[in-house]
Structure 1
């Protein structure tokens, strides 16, 4: 049994957990409030054999997580998880007050109760922006008060072999009673493209059913206007290349004003994909068109661009599955973060 024990909080479909496990961590517990995500974890017996529970983080406080893992405070190696961050997403408009923002402080409470040797927390770039900065500063103060050195770095998944532009803050804490040794993983120089990742997949069937032997590799039906739009675009082109008669009224304003530059776009074969979001299954929501076929990328292609294994299963309906895939930490990136934490611990032991 590994000494590198891990609790995966806010586990989602298991992208972070899968990568950490590949790095050598022993996951003792995953939990998420979303029962569909937990069903997905349980559906993947090939990859996961640990307990996975439908639970809110509040349910794990007051000693519950320690009890489930049969551990004492300070015994756990790593607490992982990315509290939901829509409250300070840059794509969100409206009030800065959002109950979901308070989840990061519940995470700090869980850190305090478990007192793991390390913790890792993933979050969107907005946490360090106008909406999230105050929350982030308060969180860091709390974590330092508990007894952690807190490291913050903005990593782009494409620098770590993920075929996708995806910038996320990775916050790593190490207990100060163990010294300060943590170093983020260096970019590995592997630049994987859309072609490398999905170029060998057959074209999905025209009737919208799964391609035989490739679950979730199916085409979404496009409306007549969206078919005209995608046919007007070459690989790598977005809405700025569409003739005016094919633009929706809300997109006739310059993209620098409205912000959403890449609606109605095609991916480019020899580049990385755009960020795979929770609605990547919709051609209207981003640059999610296939490079040369007249369709949006399939759910399976989105999962591959997120570096999930080909045989990884997802539960729920189409929207549920796209959300699970888009919200996940790419396992390939998670694995390198996990390795960097284990290496940090080993360096400490060697000195």
Structure 2
């Protein structure tokens, strides 16, 4: 694979839920070297193995860098074998948080975000990087995010979330991603989020050469339509049908760019092709990969059949975004740049009050301490929201209100008796 030429092997990365390698490629371009990459999906695993071949010696035994299986299975990933690695990274499954889904969060058997955070205390990496969909940034998951920050603080890590748009880093689509970076205190002082690029790349900029490879006569008119940032590429799930470019609204947006989003083409338009009954040609997988940030010089090969390749590409973290964040992390690990001052973020005041007070806390006290402007109605709404990810104990009080106690987090964090295990095995073939 194309990557750094730096021979310094002290900056190794362990990557969980690596997918088809968007994050893997970006991190290696930033200067990291893979120690381990784990992926569940067989097709994505084959793509990873094709592009990241080789073995690494662990406990004096040669091990493949890329491994297939459930990353939460101790037979697949042993945290103790990777103590003090430079970076622990991952693109844990998105469906638990996606806006288009049910937003089950901690109740979704695919949710591994909280589990991945727990691995920090076992691995003790210098840095953690986890990425997910924009849905995780919404108020629905404010308590979940606060739990993650508090847990990392207990491990003596400084953590921060940031919503990044791929179009700000040389990718011709909006594609917002919610990224968590955490570091040990000595390194965190030097971490600065990457700055957006001064110019954006359009769909036309990215794929005109591919669209016109067969000398299509309609190319010039199409370029005028496609000289914009594209909507977010949607890889989809195994639970759904074949490859297309997203839901109805996304299809309309693609139509405005002269693209038929109802499927994926096998080849670029021929010289005399007309599209009288469609907004324009369909994209090929190669075009989709370009729009997802795979540049021609990367020489990355996707394996499998067309629909599988499309899903691998569409579900990936754009390599240029991973490279930008990875570069910022590596600079911090090398203590390059100026020291950054940052405040302690707060995502859910009700969660914080319940956690800090402990035991049953009267509703009116919570309203006062959390500074809720709309009083009891706002508290009840927030409690209902928290109750989706945490067990909440509720008890009546003497003033006709309630007292609340924050119970256990519902998410899977490694419990042997968690219902995740049974659900996971029941739905394993459909998880993506």
Q: Which residue of 2 aligns with 1:59?
A: 73
Task: Determine if contact 2:97/2:104 at 8 Å carries over to the other structure.
Answer: no
Structure 1: 5+ residue stretches without partners: 206-233, 237-266
Superposition deviation, residue 62 in structure 1: 10
Matched, 1:282 2:270: no
2:419 corresponding residue in structure 1: none
Give the equivalent residue in structure 2 for 1:8: 15
Match of 1:169 in 2: 178
Length-normalised TM-score, structure 2: 0.60
Residue of structure 2 equivalent to 1:36 = 43
Q: Secondary structure at the match of 1:132?
A: helix
Q: Taking structure 1 as reference, are residues 101 and 144 closer, same or farther at Cα in structure 2, changes over 3 Å only?
A: farther
CA RMSD for the aligned pairs? Answer: 2.9
Instruction: State the Cα distance separating 1:203 from its structure 2 match.
Output: 5.2
**Contact 2:96 2:102 (C-alpha < 8 Å) held by counterparts:** no
- Structure 2: any 5+ residue segments left out of the alignment? 1-7, 56-64, 215-220, 237-241, 260-274, 340-432
**Alpha-carbon separation, structure 2, partners of 1:3 and 1:22:** 15
* C-alpha deviation, 1:182, in angstroms: 1.2
Cα contact 2:85–2:126 (8 A) shared by 1:
yes
For residues 74-114 of structure 1, the C-alpha deviation after alignment (integer angstroms, 9 at most, x for no partner) is: x2100111211211210013755633464112101221111
Residue of structure 1 in register with 2:427 after alignment: none
Structure 1 residue 86 corresponds to structure 2 residue 95: yes
Task: Check conservation: 1:36, 1:316, Cα contact below 8 A.
Answer: yes
Q: Is 2:171–2:292's contact at 8 Å kept on the other side of the alignment? A: yes
Normalized against structure 1, the TM-score is what?
Answer: 0.73
Corresponding residue of 2:189? 180
Task: Please state which structure has a larger fraction of its residues in strand.
Answer: 2
Aligned partner of 1:273 in structure 2 is: 230
Question: What secondary structure, in the 3-state scheme, does the structure 2 residue paired with 1:320 have?
Answer: helix
CA distance in 1, matches of 2:146, 2:110: 13
Structure showing greater Rg: 2
Once the two structures are TM-superposed, the CA of residue 134 in structure 1 deviates from its matched residue by: 2.3
Deviation at 1:176, TM superposition (A): 2.0
- Between the two proteins, the alignment pairs up a number of residues equal to 287
Candidates 129, 133, 138, aligned match of 2:138 = 129
